[in-house]
């Protein structure tokens, strides 16, 4: 046993905290049960108990989250401490998760990252995002396989025009990334978060491409994306 915190473990932990912030409040308990193996695995690799691991890792994980949203290498100590305590309570007490989710939402509204011209790919799609950069750091730390996204979009482009559904490709890719980050094929995310995450992953994936989408295509995708979010049945799990 190493009794050390690895960069990989830290990144997985940050991804897990974002998943917790995306979770439908009514399904927090289910999410906690589904993530049990992931949490125990992180602790085991570090040579610690689950409680010991998270006691040590949460301050640094939350420091990095705050640093991203405040867009600084020296984030506010009070904000880090508040988010750390909220995350600690949320991990082991489902009823406290809504408080953590509210803090994460407030964090994402920080002008340093929320303004369209301050986002990760401000001139390549991020300027049209309907959410204030709530998903960018999740994408950076969980390292999506954007080659798969390109294959899904290419497959849609090969279909007759009336049968093409790039939204399905985008939402499917986002769902796969959520499953990968949690380590189980279960979804606990709201349509709002899933749709906006799908758009975030699209923009970041296309930004890495030699052939990024024209600006008008981002706008059309986002318009259809927001319409799907609004019409997705509340009773239908995602």
pLDDT in tens, 62-84: 999 999 999 999 999 999 999 99
Chain Cα centroid distance, residue 118: 18
User: Using CA atoms, how far apart are residues 131 and 212, in angstroms rounded to an integer?
Assistant: 21
> Average pLDDT, stretch 193-213?
83
Structure tokens at 16: 């897990």
Name the more confident of 237 and 130. Answer: 130
Contact 2/47 with Cβ under 8 angstroms? yes
- Range from 145-149, 211-215, 216-220 carrying the lowest mean pLDDT: 211-215
HEC secondary structure over 170-211? HHHHHHHHHHHHHCCCCCCECHHHHHHHHHHHHHHHHHCCCC
Give the pLDDT band (50/70/90) at residue 209. Answer: low
- The three-class DSSP label of residue 212 is coil
Q: What pLDDT sits at residue 54?
A: 96
Structure tokens at 72: 């600084």
Name the more confident of 225 and 125. Answer: 225
Residue 1 has pLDDT above 50, yes or no: no
Q: What are the start-end ranges of the H helices in the chain?
A: 7-22, 28-34, 36-46, 50-70, 77-92, 97-108, 111-114, 136-142, 146-157, 166-182, 191-207, 215-231
- The three-class DSSP label of residue 97 is helix
Note the pTM of the prediction, 2 decimals. 0.90
């Amino acid at each position: 046993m190493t009794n050390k915190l690895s960069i990989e473990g830290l990144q997985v932990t940050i991804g897990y905290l974002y998943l917790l912030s995306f979770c439908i409040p009514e399904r927090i308990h289910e999410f906690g049960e589904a993530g049990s193996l992931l949490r125990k695995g992180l602790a085991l690799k570090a040579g610690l108990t689950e409680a010991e691991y998270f006691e040590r890792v949460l301050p640094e994980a939350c420091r990095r989250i705050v640093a991203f949203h405040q867009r600084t290498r020296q984030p506010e100590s009070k904000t880090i401490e508040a988010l750390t305590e909220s995350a600690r309570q949320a991990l082991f007490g489902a009823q406290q998760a809504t408080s953590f989710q509210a803090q994460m939402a407030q964090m994402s509204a920080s002008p340093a990252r929320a303004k369209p011209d301050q986002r990760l790919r401000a001139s390549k799609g991020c300027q049209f995002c309907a959410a204030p950069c709530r998903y960018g750091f999740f994408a950076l730390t969980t390292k999506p396989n954007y080659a798969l996204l390109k294959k899904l979009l290419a497959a849609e482009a090969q279909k007759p025009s009336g049968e093409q559904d790039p939204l399905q490709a985008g939402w499917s890719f986002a769902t796969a990334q959520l499953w990968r980050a949690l380590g189980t094929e279960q979804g606990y995310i709201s349509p709002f978060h899933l749709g906006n995450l799908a758009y975030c992953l699209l923009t970041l994936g296309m930004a890495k491409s030699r052939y990024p989408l024209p600006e008008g295509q981002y706008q059309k995708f986002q318009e259809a994306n927001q319409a799907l979010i609004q019409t997705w049945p509340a009773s239908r799990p995602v």
